[in-house]
Homo-oligomer: A and B are copies of this chain.
Amino acid sequence: MSRRLRRTPYTDRVEQSGVRGFSVVNHMLLPKAFGSTVEEDYWHLRKHVQIWDVSCQRQVLINGLDAAALLQWMTPRDISKAKVGDCFYIPIIDPKAGLINDPVMLKLDEDRFWLSIADSDVLLYAMGLALGRGLDIELSEPDVSPLAIQGPKAEALLVDLFGEQVREIGFFKFGWIDFEGTKQLIARSGYSRQGGYEIYLEGGHLGSALWDAIWDAGQAYGIKPGYPNLIERIEGGLLSLGNEMTRDNNPLEIGLGKFCTLDGSIDYIGCDELQKIAGQGVQREIRGIVFDGDRCPVCSKLWPVMVGSKQIGGVTSAVWSPRLKRNIGLSMIDRDYWKAGQVVTVHSEDGEVRPGEVSMLPFS
């Protein structure tokens, strides 16, 4: 691996923990496998606590008097409702309402924000917009590297380490902790449905120290190294940019309607198109698919979802659910077929034709 695939402040510790493979997000390493199976890690995540190097959730700093205006231009969500200390999930869309990214916006101050991004260069997009408009805004990728502590025992662990104020942080809110003489941002958030926190470590030189502190305090809770878990993510109906969401998808069909202002009270890139789509009604929507057969392979390309000889959708992520004891997947489904219980076949890339049915999300 070359320097282009950037290491993180935690990569040394991740390697010492026996990492066996990485993915790449935002030109940065994301650990994807340790000594155990994804299934073992899934059960562990649901019962205990894990430490995840999610530094690849890079931050885009947007700072200056026009910061909020630039941000509002980028997203259909009304950001004037955000208070300092809020994490706001904000879809970013293009003029045709296609999804560019789905970051979490952290409002640090009235005119100072971080966007915690999925896998596309939002910084370059924001730079282009600001340069094009002639806005004088500070835009950069600060030295901030999120470390996620996920699982039902995350709160107890972090209370031990940083005190009771961690408990008071609400869901999708952030507060501050002291670490080695520095003030660090901590949010109650993360890419799982098992609860937990993300520490947005500012200062990469503190990476190993933070990892060690959490690791040591975590021994009492059976802590293990982990990563965003595919089984848990799909069961929980958590979508992924590049998998479920691409520029071919608008936020309404992907279930993000509640984050979209459609009444004309704010203006943003893609507003006209989104209003048009809303007026006509979406033609397809994201759904779960439950399907039969042996453990399905990894979904590396679209798997046709058929009703008879008609393609009515395409699976974008899939996995064997050890809890439901069936394969589950995520798929866009055409409106005539999107009711739960619709019988379908899934044509997985191993050549199998698997009977299944449409399900609502999250999987129950």
| A→B interface (CB under 8 Å) | 1-7, 23-24, 27, 94-95, 100, 119-122, 124-134, 240-243, 269, 298-302, 316-317
Chain B residue nearest to A269 in the complex (CB): B131
Contacts of A3 in B (CB 8 A): 242-243, 299-302, 316-317
Is there contact, CB below 8 Å, between A2 and B317?
A: yes
Is there contact, CB below 8 Å, between A300 and B129?
A: no
Identical subunits present: 2
Q: Given A132-B132, A316-B3, answer yes or no on A100-B119 (Cβ-Cβ < 8 Å).
A: no
Is there contact, CB below 8 Å, between A126 and B128?
A: yes
* Complex CA distance for A177 and B141, rounded to whole angstroms: 43
Chain B residue nearest to A230 in the complex (CB): B2
Is there contact, CB below 8 Å, between A301 and B7?
A: yes
Contacts of A299 in B (CB 8 A): 2-3
Q: Given A24-B24, A119-B27, A121-B120, answer yes or no on A1-B128 (Cβ-Cβ < 8 Å).
A: no
Expressed in whole angstroms, the minimum distance between the Cβ of A21 and any Cβ of chain B is 10
Q: Given A125-B127, A127-B94, answer yes or no on A4-B132 (Cβ-Cβ < 8 Å).
A: no
Contacts of A302 in B (CB 8 A): 3
Is there contact, CB below 8 Å, between A127 and B128?
A: yes
Q: Given A27-B119, A119-B27, A132-B133, answer yes or no on A2-B125 (Cβ-Cβ < 8 Å).
A: no
Contacts of A23 in B (CB 8 A): 1-2, 5, 24
Is there contact, CB below 8 Å, between B2 and A240?
A: yes
Q: Given A4-B241, A301-B3, answer yes or no on A128-B119 (Cβ-Cβ < 8 Å).
A: no
Contacts of A121 in B (CB 8 A): 120-121, 124-125
A-B CB proximity, top 7 nearest = A132-B132, A128-B128, A4-B242, A121-B121, A124-B125, A24-B24, A128-B129
